[in-house]
Amino acid sequence: MNAGSVRRPLIGISAYVEPAGWAVWRDVPAVLVPQAYARAVTAAGGRAVVLPPDDVDGDVVAVLDGLLLAGGADVGPGRYGQRPDPRTEDRPDRDAGELTVLAAALAADLPVLGVCRGMQLLAVAYGGTLHQHLPDVVGHDAHRPAPGVYGSHPVRFAPGSLSATVLAGVERVNSYHHQAVADPGRLAVTGWADDGVVEAVEDPALPFVLGVQWHPENEPDPRPITALVRAAGRPVEAGCDARRPRAVTSPVGGSTDGQGLSGDRLSTG
């Protein structure tokens, strides 16, 4: 690659571990992510890299340009000091692995986008808490109308925020979740549904740390993912990365020398 040329930004997408089936195989534990995430990253000019849960270290961020925390199962309530509701279904391996890579990504100033569960994980990592079953709070099921059925609702954003800039003109979003952010911790809330449910959070102290409660990968215009890829783009000099790991303090606790943080060093409230 020639000096000064631009390559596709590498976007790490956190993956599910769920039973899956293909060909003659059934209920095999598999590392997977819905294709819609990878398709949206590719359409925006990025290269998707699937990240299985791994809490040994976060050193993968040294080769990434951005991090996308995908949706999925609930964040474990123990991560924010609560006992689990009977309707909460968590994945401890995902929590541990994603919090580890998230801490390293934030310490390296990588652009980060959290989608649905990913936004909730961001809030927990920044010291916040969640509503474990949203219908108990808002009195309806419109945010997850039925299994496998997306809801739709109005949304508004705080003027001047990253959310408002990225999502200018967006007035409705899809919805599929039964949990929501109760306390954003050290994040700023910059988006709301018409019933007051938190729909967007961000860290104003960093260039691009954004969480959205809906699923932009399933929207015709996946603006948050496009914005993540654009924020992650950078020139490549003489075929090598322009960015180098550096010793900085992670907003979610501790410091890193580019090799990442272990999950148990996170300050998760």
CB atoms within 10 A of CB 178: 18
Across 132-157, average pLDDT = 95
Poorest-pLDDT segment among 113-122, 170-179, 230-239: 230-239
Would you state the pLDDT for residue 251? 55
Would you state the pLDDT for residue 262? 29
Place of tokens 């606790």: 253
* 90 secondary structure, DSSP code: B
Q: Is 21 helix (H, G, I), strand (E, B) or coil?
A: strand
Would you state the pLDDT for residue 161? 98
| Summary mean pLDDT of the chain | 88
Helices within the chain (DSSP H only): 35-43, 92-107, 117-125, 135-138, 162-166, 223-232
Would you state the pLDDT for residue 260? 27
pLDDT digits (tens, 9 = 90+) for 229-267: 999 996 443 344 444 343 334 555 533 332 222 233 223
Q: Catalytic residue at 140?
A: no
Report the interhelical angle of 223-232 vs 35-43 (nearest 10°). Answer: 60
Would you state the pLDDT for residue 6? 77
Q: Catalytic residue at 215?
A: yes
The one catalytic residue among 98, 116, 178, 199: 116
For the chain, give every domain's residue range: 10-233
Would you state the pLDDT for residue 13? 98
Q: Catalytic residue at 240?
A: no
The one catalytic residue among 140, 177, 215, 237: 215
Would you state the pLDDT for residue 255? 34
* Residue 99 clears pLDDT 80, i.e. is over it: yes
Per-residue burial over 12-41, b = 16 or more CB atoms within 10 Å of its CB, e = otherwise: bbbbbbeeeeeeeeeeeeeeebbebbbebb
- Give the right CATH number for 10-233 from 3.40.50.880, 3.30.10.20, 1.20.120.1630, 1.10.150.20: 3.40.50.880
The one catalytic residue among 98, 199, 202, 217: 217
Share of the chain above pLDDT 70, in %: 85
Would you state the pLDDT for residue 221? 86
* Residue 220: pLDDT band with limits 50, 70, 90: confident
pLDDT digits (tens, 9 = 90+) for 14-33: 999 999 999 999 999 999 99
* Residue 77 clears pLDDT 90, i.e. is over it: yes
Would you state the pLDDT for residue 223? 96
